[in-house]
Amino acid sequence: MRTVTSLPRQITVDEHVWIPMSDGIRLAAKLWRPIAADDRPVPGVLEYIPYRKRDLTAVRDSIHHPYMAAHGYACVRVDLRGTGESEGVLADEYLEQEHRDAEDVLAWMREQPWCDGRLGMMGISWGAFNSLQVAARRPPGLRAIVISSFTDDRYSDDMHYMGGALLSDNIAESATMFAYSTLPPDPALVGDRWREMWFERLENCSLWAANWLEHQRRDEYWRRASVCENYADVRVPVLASSGWADGYSNAVARLLAHLDVPRKGLIGPWSHRYPHLGEPGPAIGYLQEVVRWWDRWLRDIDNGVMDGPMLYTWMQDSVPPSTAYEQRPGRWVGEPSWPSPHLRPVEYPLARHRIGNPGEDVPAADLGLESPLSVGQFAGKWASYSAPPDLPYDQREEDGGSLVFDTGELTERCEILGAPILTLEVSADKPVAMIAARLSDVDPDGRATRVTYGLLNLTHRDGHDDPRPVEPGARYRVTVQLNAVAQAFPAGHRIRLSVSSSYWPLAWPPPEPARLIVHTGGSSLRLPIRPIAESDEIPPQPFGPPEGSEPMPTTQITPGEQRWTVSRDLIDYHSALNIVKDAGLLRFDEHDLQVDRRVREHYRWQADDFCSATAETAWSMTFSRGDWLTRTETRTHVTCTPTDFVVHAQLDGFEGEQRTYSRNWKRRIPRDHV
């Protein structure tokens, strides 16, 4: 990223501002604005998240908020209630209280002398979620939003469940918020009340893993704040982006298809990061595009921001399998609308262990499948964060426990853009069973790079509201939608479809192994083909280079550590996936705060005992300055029986080396067709 030192306006920064809520609680904010805004008010932009403006997102915030402020916007970065220096307690995500607080913040911004009353919201992940959700509530003054890495469907397309199957990220991310919601505020900003505020959080914190496990079907808990329930609620222009390596690769296209407002979509090769910080690269000049968006919709400048394609996306070229990439080769392509008139869905029948040609009359065959529990240990994370390396590795070992269907060697390059759809005629011998479908690019040497995948819990075959047991032996016709992707398959390569009956630890396994029968006569794979001859009519490089303000100064005192280890004991058949994410000890030079953050995820199982699956995530977070030293340790441990999930959790707070708070939980939650 290029640091821009010559910006159009001088700015001023308010490090700590209290914003009063309607119930008397105060939220903490940091404010960047042009100096001239005190005399000539400017539009305001809100980013509203629980990830601690003082430290954990401070470097990222320092790159884009000063940049936007220098281009004429008052940027307000607010910590959610109960996080950072904000008062109160954070109990769960996207609650009504969170949205009312956002409306209070926006109303406060409109009343400030530096604000002209025109407002935008922006964010990535949580901040994108609530920007879209708050936009659907239509608060006064909100005129546009910019969102990255988000979803409009909290049940079907988030970190919790996919196709009705429980994702392990449901547990890992609940542990993240268990940790973040129990951290202390900084005494340098809140004074002597820091300990009182911290203990209020410790004593009233929520067991996030249990909250999310209690809702295993699409009920009102998930429907609330899912904008897909009524897209017409959103009446402001939307700039939406994501990345193909992210877990949130599907929602951009849905918004383009369903919103009836000015909208633009952008999907690059990136993981769960803003596009100007995108990994794998190439990163782009995203902040320039954001400023143009604000200029058009908050300043009414007719700058042509709506010209060109509705969707820009990175068409990825073939690469060897790897758990991390610095760059993904490819090119930008543009679509005038979505669904795109350029795309041609093509149906390929499934034959015995091969993908047939379109229109081919393939003979019926019954193919049996009962995957070992080890299939999935090279699946990577549901959403790549690029630290540690967390993309899927070579799929050949996974394919050994799967049904595999290959095309012949391609005689010409083939490109797809969108969501592949697998239709299967299938039967199972157990009342709960799952299907994991993977699409891979197989090179002439046989290496298999996973391109995309999808899951279906067969009890959710008719929808997620009312799951029903599988009747053993009954034949069902089901569809599995794989995640959307833009991918090119070169001539000489093969396209592979792999189907397995487990995908642990990416997804929690069923209560017991199930044997599936795939009936090929009525099964097919539909690919969204993008014809090669289609002219993109866009410049080869439609975006400028990534740029931003100079990151705030930090000093790495001790190095971090990143590990991702798969192990297998051939005596007792215990297997494990161990993940270490240790950021080391970091000092924020401007205010001398030191932060040490360590995370360990541990997934294990024994042989093919599906109820031996165990997930554990442990966080340790230390904050210190001078004589002030605190540490919070959290642990979330999830096991199962054939009928229940069992959640153990532990929370400990330390002042210096003395433990001054401790609490334990144990919850048993019935399995609901999962």
Residue-wise DSSP of 313-339: EEEEPP----S--SB--EEEEEESSSS
Mean pLDDT of 552-559: 97
Q: What span, in angstroms and rounded, lies between the C-alpha atoms of 326 and 321?
A: 13
Question: Is the model's pLDDT at 533 over the cut of 80?
Answer: no
Quote the mean pLDDT of the chain. 96
Question: Is the model's pLDDT at 621 over the cut of 90?
Answer: yes
The pLDDT score that the predictor gives to residue 23 is: 97
Q: What span, in angstroms and rounded, lies between the C-alpha atoms of 96 and 591?
A: 34
User: Strand pairing of 238-243 and 142-148?
Assistant: parallel
Q: What is the DSSP letter of 509?
A: P
CA-to-CA separations, 282 to 158, 309, 334, 485, in angstroms, rounded: 25, 20, 17, 17
Mean pLDDT of 225-236: 98
306-342 tens-digit pLDDT: 999 999 999 999 999 999 999 999 999 999 999 999 9
Q: What span, in angstroms and rounded, lies between the C-alpha atoms of 28 and 74?
A: 16
Question: Is the model's pLDDT at 538 over the cut of 80?
Answer: no
Q: Look up residue 103 and give its amino acid.
A: E
The pLDDT score that the predictor gives to residue 536 is: 66
Q: What span, in angstroms and rounded, lies between the C-alpha atoms of 379 and 382?
A: 8
- Of 475, 478, 474, 476, give the one whose Cα is nearest residue 455: 478
Cis before 280 (ω within 30) = yes
Question: Is the model's pLDDT at 535 over the cut of 70?
Answer: no
Radius of gyration of the chain (CA): 25
pLDDT tier at 453, thresholds 50, 70, 90: very high
Helix (H, G, I), strand (E, B) or coil at 67: helix
Name residues whose C-beta falls within 8 Å of residue 50's C-beta, 6 or more positions apart in sequence. 79, 80, 82, 83, 84, 90, 126, 177, 180, 181
The backbone torsions φ and ψ at residue 629, rounded to the nearest 5 degrees and listed phi first, read: -145, 120
User: Strand pairing of 142-148 and 115-124?
Assistant: parallel
In our burial notation (b when 16+ CB lie closer than 10 A, e otherwise), range 315-324 reads: bbbbbebeeb
265-274 tens-digit pLDDT: 999 999 999 9
Number of H helices, E strands in the chain: 11, 34
Q: What span, in angstroms and rounded, lies between the C-alpha atoms of 168 and 614?
A: 10
In our burial notation (b when 16+ CB lie closer than 10 A, e otherwise), range 279-289 reads: bbbbbbbbbbb
Looking at 154-258, which runs of residues are DSSP E strands? 161-162, 165-166, 238-243
Q: What span, in angstroms and rounded, lies between the C-alpha atoms of 665 and 228?
A: 35
Q: What span, in angstroms and rounded, lies between the C-alpha atoms of 581 and 562?
A: 5
The count of residues in the chain is: 674
- Of 109, 128, 119, give the one whose Cα is nearest residue 20: 109
The pLDDT score that the predictor gives to residue 534 is: 59
CB distance 143 to 236 below 8 Å: yes
pLDDT tier at 3, thresholds 50, 70, 90: confident
pLDDT tier at 540, thresholds 50, 70, 90: confident
Question: Is the model's pLDDT at 387 over the cut of 80?
Answer: no
At 558, list the tokens.
């001790």
Name residues whose C-beta falls within 8 Å of residue 85's C-beta, 6 or more positions apart in sequence. 16, 28, 54, 79, 185, 186, 189, 190
Q: What span, in angstroms and rounded, lies between the C-alpha atoms of 244 and 417?
A: 11
Please tell me the least confidently modeled range out of 133-142, 366-375, 539-548: 539-548
End-to-end CA distance of the chain: 44
CB distance 632 to 661 below 8 Å: no
- Of 578, 573, 567, 636, give the one whose Cα is nearest residue 609: 573
Q: Which is it for the CA torsion 60, 61, 66, 68, positive or negative? A: positive
In the chain, the percentage of residues whose pLDDT exceeds 90 is 96
21-72 tens-digit pLDDT: 999 999 999 999 999 999 999 999 999 999 999 999 999 999 999 999 999 9
